[in-house]
């Protein structure tokens, strides 16, 4: 579901890492206005319940995504409702969403994807400066 969604956004690159060590599930690349390609790591998680406004990632998974040298996108698939949610994974979530570094998970804000948000996400992925914030 997530891979098909990303293909709809017309990336120049959509690849799977060769091993689990990469820390993400997919690598996508979108053209930017400067003539280059913006690369984004994508973590994909599935759930059978609507996740709400936040999604809890195991701390180890969060650290892998949050501390890459490229932006990290989280796609959450509600497989029963066929609904996708997205959120940007940043180190700030680890500081703000948990009371201590020993917590077992980190809560990441996510947004349901509809046509309007899909367009906004594509614009973010193509932004020449790599900006990933919703602001």
Written as tens digits, the pLDDT of the chain (135 aa) is 899 999 999 999 999 998 777 889 999 999 988 899 999 999 999 999 989 999 999 999 999 999 999 999 999 999 999 999 999 999 988 775 444 445 799 999 999 999 999 999 999 988 855 455 444
- Position 98 scores a pLDDT of 47
Dihedral angle of Cα 24, 27, 30, 36, to the nearest 10 degrees:
100
Q: What is the pLDDT of residue 93?
A: 81
Fold of the domain built from segment(s) 2-126: Trna Endonuclease; Chain: A, domain 1 (3.40.1350)
* Distance separating alpha carbons of residues 30 and 40, to the nearest angstrom: 8
pTM for the whole structure: 0.87
**For position 126, what pLDDT does the model report?**
87
Cα separation, 24 vs 129, whole angstroms: 22
In the prediction, which pLDDT does 21 show? 79
Q: How far is CA 40 from CA 57, 61, 62, 101, 104, in A?
A: 18, 16, 15, 26, 25
């Amino acid at each position: 579901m997530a891979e098909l969604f990303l293909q709809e956004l017309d990336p120049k690159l959509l690849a799977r890492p060769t091993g689990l060590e990469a820390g993400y599930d997919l690598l996508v690349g979108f053209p930017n206005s400067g003539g280059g390609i913006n690369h984004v790591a994508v973590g994909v998680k599935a759930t059978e319940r609507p996740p709400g406004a936040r999604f809890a990632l195991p701390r180890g998974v969060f650290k892998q995504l949050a501390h890459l040298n490229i932006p990290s996108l989280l796609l959450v698939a509600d497989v029963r409702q066929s609904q996708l949610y997205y959120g940007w994974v940043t180190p700030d979530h680890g500081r703000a969403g948990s009371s201590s570094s020993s917590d077992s998970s980190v809560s990441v804000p996510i947004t349901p994807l509809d046509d309007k948000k899909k367009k906004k996400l594509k614009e973010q992925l193509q932004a020449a400066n790599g900006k990933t914030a919703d602001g």
